[in-house]
Every structure is written in structure tokens, then in C-alpha cells.
Amino acid sequence: MAEASEVLMSVLSTIRVPRPGDRVHKDECALSFATPESEGGLYVCMNTFLGFGSQYVDRHYKKTGQRAYLHISRTRKTQKEDDNGSGSGDPPKKKPTRLAIGIEGGFDVEQEHYEEEVKVVILPDRLEVTSEDLATMPDVVRERVSLSMAGLMAADSVSHTLQVQQWDGEVRQESKHAADLKQLDNGIKIPPSGWKCEVCDLQENLWMNLTDGKVLCGRRYFDGSGGNNHALLHYQQTGYPLAVKLGTITPDGADVYSYDEDDMVLDAKLPEHLAHFGIDMMTMEKTERTMTELEIAVNQRVGEWEVIQESGATLRPLSGPGLTGMKNLGNSCYLNSVMQVLFTVPDFQRKYVSNIEKIFDDAPADPTQDFKTQVAKLGYGLLSGEYSKPAPDPGDDPSLTPEPRGDQVGIAPRMFKALIGRGHPEFSTNRQQDAQEYLLHFINMVERNCRSGQNPSEAFRFLVEERIVCQQSLKAKYTQRVDYIVQVPVPMDQATNTEELQEAEHRREEAEAAGAPPPPMPRACIPFSACLAALSEPETLTDFWSSAVQAKTTASKTTRFASFPDHLVIQIKKFTFGLDWVPKKLDVSIDMPDTLDLSALRGTGQQPGEELLPEVAPPPLVTPDVEVKAPVLDDSTVSQLCEMGFPLEACRKAVYYTGNTGIDAAMNWVMGHMDDADFSAPLVLPSCSSTPGTTPTEAVSEEHLATIVSMGFSRDQATRALRATSNVLERAVDWIFSHLDDLESMEVSEGGRSAGESEGNREPPPGPRVRDGPGKYELFAFISHMGTSTMCGHYVCHIKKDQQ
């Protein structure tokens, strides 16, 4: 131990004790998905607090010179079930009673069934020092190392902090409608039992509206169970906001839902509101599971595969390279589905997996915060097969309690999810998200981080040609724009089973009139060819400003492909808005063809003999004073849009870009820009201070500068972006990508040359790089959203590999 003592003394100055706020990565390797449970355990640097698997710890030592690491190794305990259903010698594990994490009664997140071994390892010779060895060493060494070890073990890991922060799903807010709720004097009195839906006679999942006393069934869940949506439909027809779940009423309270606020809420006047309809809260007993209990039951279910299409089939689990599963981190199925498909695209494999050694070598000091490193780590994890090995057969060793036979370890992309979602109002949460929006968000990040070198998102990038013909002058205008996704409309009037749908609707109306349960509705069958035809149909523009006639007139717009990408992403637009602006999902069946020929949709450009519209700008909608730094927005229009459920910043942009011209114009802007990647990003206003020569001289963050420069921009460009956005990094990045043309022409000195020399030698900035193919495609993957609602459900991806 004398040698170990001397070595520790030599590195003592590099050993740190974690302080509050330090990021401790003790659950996952920064460069792989190794954990303390993996073979070889996890090495945590006692200076940077970064974790590394056994295959990468030497790389970190050689790069940084850090020698002291805390080695954490966990092995699963042998669990022999006793009569209490607990592990041998342990008290029975309590079932969760609260929809919460990290608090009494909530879901348990501790690793209870592992034996843990901790020791200090000194590189490069991997000299091991245990706690017992430390006891024999000089006081100065023992105290410093022991404090660091204890601090590291006591600290919350970053993954724990990000994924399972103390969270209580039962904390509810007082409804804004409760204090002044309108209740009708209609004479209705509700009996203490024997309830049924007034529309369909359902006798469970019943809700009583607290305004008019109507008893109606709840929502239909994404797996087909639950109610028939009659309580929700009643709210949409009447606007009466609050309902109480019958069967959950006790002297302590009840489940109250606010349709307007779209959440479970508190009602301080609940006893009074119930008494209005003859319900004495103090005498009621609970007969139904509360919504919290139902959610807990769902979260306890081991297999979410029970509710997908193949739940009744016998499936053979696969494993090996390219067949690695991803763990659901709580509503992360949208992320998992998108990334599984993306890493079957050769461009992403070449950029991030084939190039992984160089990416790791070039990684910054903290690779957990580096986009390329974390994408490469995920890609290698999915494709290498290292985490896709079948679990051992229980018959091999009866003393083991392995995963169910055929399952694989898989990967949990916690570090990746945290980095990609950082700063985003939706993707940084554990809520369900839209897969298409996430794909665009991820492509946007790829674009930002591939300013130089190979850009894999080019595999999806294509040019759209829009041809607008003024119906008065018959002159045309051609524009091109870049896109990554083809959004195909669903023409409901083109269903091939119209007669069946009409008969079913007639039966439903008869059942409704007779007070009987509604019969199941068949699904509309829409040919994919009809969807393509709807995509290519001319669109009529009623308020087109024609430069030829110098006035507003009618025009027709046709959209075609100016180029065809290598891989075509198609989104079937099954999510829409009802007449009441409530988002809904179309219940349709569309047979996708295995092959697709879109060559007939290629744009042809200006036709022989066709005259073009003059290049004259239309008159501005508003002429604000250039000195005004923030326009005055119509708050009432912004509020109306927000009440429809759109993000605040999107509503502000809608009002700003339509020049305060009213709700109709703003609503049209919203509907036309909902699919923009920056739809809900903050409104960034042009300012006189951002023009050349008038840039303010306040200091900018060096850290923010370094981040933007690492994306391939110059220091001058990064500085200008930060000053134009008040030093806010996320806004600066959005600003810089929306001002690329201005930045390309900046008269700044580069590389020691004068501004004049630089300008004279600069080539014109190239347009977006797009590939062009024949427009013929073969289906290789699809992502399905399962569920009837836009706000919940489950995403699953299917991928064709080796013709399977």
C-alpha cells in the first residue's frame, strides 16, 4: 500500500469533492451506454466527474492526464421470492399509492436489488485502492480521498436529476371557474347510485357536469376502452367547463376535471356545487378508481406492447447489429421511433457511426454536452449490436433471475434526450410529443452542427417549386423553397366505402334518437392515389396581391417538386381541427403502396411564351416608426388565439406578421405556419441596432460565442447575433440561421485580410445543396401513431431490414 499511498499523494491536488451544482455522471458513460451494471463497471473521474466505461476510461486519461477514478460496479442480487413477494431478507416492496416520483408513496426509483462495490482506481496501471486500504494511509490522503468518494456516492447523478426529479402528478391547481361557476336551476337531483350515461347507457367512467347536472360518459382511451366521449361532446356544445367523476366522491373530495383548462383541478366550493344537485358529499363512498389510481395502474404495467397491433401474434424477438431496442423513458416513444428510422439511413450511419473515432477524438472537454458526440454514441449503440444480445436462458442457471427469455438489454438514451431537448419548451419535458415535430427539430439541430463537412440531412432535403398565376393578367410567378417533409392531405370525400359510412351514420343517428348505445363506426378507406391527387391540385388564392395589376385579385397556386431527395419523408395529415378549433385525429385507413413513382409531379419551370409577374414589392401592411423597438400587438387577438390552444409566441408572431389586421388574418397565418420548425420559437424583431455600423458595444458571453463559433460561424457573425438578441443563446442561434444572407455579405476582416480584399475574393454564397433523383421510391419504414387523441397515444416504428 506504500506505492498506492505515494501515487495518491502525487495526484491529490486533482481530486475534487463535489459541490452543489456540480454535474456528476455516475450512471452512464459519456461515450457509450455502459453503466455500473455493465461488464467492467463505470469509472467516474474524480476531477471532472464524468463517467466512462472500461473501454473508454483510458482514452479520457490520455486526453486529459487525469489519473484518479472512482470505480463503481453493481451486480444484481439473486432474488428468491418469499411469501411476501419480496426479495429474500428484504421487507415487501410497497406498491405506489401516489402518482409521483421520489416522494413517500410514489414510484420507487432506487436501485434496490444490486450489490455495489466502490474503489479508487489510479491510471494508467489501474492500481486499486479500497476504503479499507485508505484507513492505513496518511491523514491528508485519507481525508481528501474519502471526502471525494463520499461526495460522489451521495450526489444525485445527472441522469437521475434530469429524468426522475421529485415530481408529484397529484398536485392540482384551483380551477379559475370554481369560484363563480354558473349552476342552472333546472330541478335535477342526482341519486347516490345507479347512474348511467344519458346518451349511451354506459354505467362506468361517468362524469356529472357541475353546471347542468348532466351525467355522461368520459373519454375513449387510446386502446379503445373507457367511455364514448359524451361528456366531452357536451362541453363542446355548451361550454360548461367543470365535471366531477361519479364514484370518486368522498368526504375528502373527488376527481374534478376542467375541459377548458384541460386538466384535473381543485374546486374549493365542491360541497356547495354537489349540494345544488342533491349530493351530500359527507355521506358518499368511493366506488370507482380515481384518475390517479388509473394512471398508476397504467404506469405499473410491464408491457406496453399489449395495446399495439401485434399483441395477439407470436413474435420472435430479434437481436444483433442494427436490431437494438430503446427503452421508453416515459413518453419518449416519439424520440425512439424517429431515431430508429434515421439510423437506417446510410448518410446518418456514415456521418456519425463510421466516423465515430474522429468524433470522439475531437470531442470537447465535456462530451456529454456535445451534439456530434451524443448522436454518434446513440448511432453506435443502435447499430453495433453491443447492447442487443439475448438475455441468458433461465434454464442455464436456476440461481439466476435474468430478463425474460429473448429480451435484450437495449439502450436508454437519457443523455441524448436531455441534450437534444435542452432549452426547448416541449422536448425538454417528459410529456408526449409529436414525432413529425421532433424530426424537424432534430434535422434543424443537424443543420446547425454541420455547417462544414458532410451533412446527413441532405438525404431528406428537396426543393419545392411553387407556381402562382394571376387570374386577371395570366402572368406567373415562380418561387422555390427548401423542405424536408411532404405533407399529404387526406380527402375524406374520396372514401371508397362511402355507402358503408352513410349506412353506419344512419344507424348511429337512430340509436341516438332511441337512447341506445351507438354502434361502432367503420373506418373511412382513402386510396393513397387520392391523397397524391389532392396534393397536386391547384389551390385558389383569394387575396393575392398582383404586381401586374397593382391590386389584390384571385390567383391559382400549384406545388411541384423541383428536386427529388434520396429518402422521401411523407406525413399523412391525419391531425386536423374541428369547427370548434379542437384538435382531432381523422379515423381513416390508407393503404400505402410498397413503391411510389412521383416523377409526374416534377416542376417544369417557366413555360414557353409564359410571361412572369413584375418583381415589384407589395405595399406594406403597416409602416411602424423605425425607432420603435417593439411593435404594439393587439392583445385581444393574441388572447383569442391562445385560448384556442396555440403557443403564446406563435400567437404573437401571427398578429405581428399580419399587421394587427384581425383574428381571421392571424388565424390564417397560424394554419399556414403550424408546421414551421420555429412555430413556437420566440418572436425576434428586426431592430435598427442590428444594422451594420450601429451595433451596440455591450459585452457578449464568451461561452455563448464559443458555442456559435463551434457551429462554423465566424466570431464577428456570432457577436452580431448575440447583440441582436440581448445575449440569449437560443434566440441568437435562431437569429443567425434566419439571417444567413445578411451574414454572408458582412464586410468584416477575415483571416488577417482587409474587408475590401475579403469582399473582392469572396465567391457568391451557394444555395442550399440538394440532391436530385428520378422520383421513384420503395417503402422502407413507417412510424404509426396509435390513439384517437392528438395529446396522447403511442408511437411505434416498423422498419424493413434484409427484406423483413
Catalytic residues: 333, 794
- Is residue 804 within 8 A of residue 239, CB to CB? The reply is no
* b/e sequence 496-530, b meaning 16+ C-beta within 10 Å: eeeeebeebeeeeeeeeeeeeebeeeeebbbeeeb
Rounded to whole angstroms, how far apart are CA atoms 428 and 789? Answer: 22
Peptide bond before 124: cis, by omega within 30 degrees of 0? yes
What element of type H or E holds 597? Answer: strand 595-597
Displacement of CA 303 from its chain's centroid (Å): 22
3-state secondary structure 60-84: HHHHHCCCEEEEEEEEECCCCCCCC
Q: How many CA atoms lie within 13 A of 549 on its CB side?
A: 16
User: Which ranges of 85-188 would DSSP assign to H, the alpha helix?
Assistant: 131-134, 139-154, 158-163
Binding-site residues from annotation for Zn(2+): 197, 200, 217, 230
3-class DSSP state for residue 680? coil
Rounded to whole angstroms, how far apart are CA atoms 366 and 370? Answer: 7
Binding-site residues from annotation: 197, 200, 207, 217, 219-222, 230, 257, 259, 262
Give the relative orientation of helices 435-449 and 371-383 as an angle to the nearest 10 degrees.
120
Cα–Cα distances (Å) from 142 to 6, 97, 131, 139, 237, in that order, read 12, 44, 9, 5, 73
Q: How many CA atoms lie within 13 A of 368 on its CB side?
A: 22
State the CB neighbour count (10 A cutoff) for residue 403: 13
With a CB cutoff of 8 Å and minimum separation 6, the contacts of 674 are none
Q: Residue for cell digits 422536448?
A: 427
> Which of 563, 385, 557 lies closest to 478 in space, CA to CA?
557
Cα–Cα distances (Å) from 706 to 684, 717, 718, in that order, read 22, 12, 9
Q: Residue for cell digits 385579385?
A: 553
> Which of 753, 757, 801 lies closest to 780 in space, CA to CA?
801
DSSP class of residue 27? S
Rounded to whole angstroms, how far apart are CA atoms 605 and 478? Answer: 7
Lookup: cell for 448: 446547425
> Which of 97, 107, 111 lies closest to 167 in space, CA to CA?
107
Binding-site residues from annotation for substrate: 207, 219-222, 257, 259, 262
Q: Is 100 left (phi over 0), alpha (psi -120 to 50) or beta?
A: beta
User: Of how many residues is the chain composed?
Assistant: 804
3-class DSSP state for residue 41? coil
Rounded to whole angstroms, how far apart are CA atoms 500 and 505? Answer: 9
With a CB cutoff of 8 Å and minimum separation 6, the contacts of 592 are 528, 779, 782
Q: How many CA atoms lie within 13 A of 317 on its CB side?
A: 16
Position 728: which residue type?
A: V
Q: Is 321 left (phi over 0), alpha (psi -120 to 50) or beta?
A: beta
- Is residue 470 within 8 A of residue 613, CB to CB? The reply is yes
Lookup: cell for 712: 462554423
With a CB cutoff of 8 Å and minimum separation 6, the contacts of 777 are 568, 595, 596, 597, 598
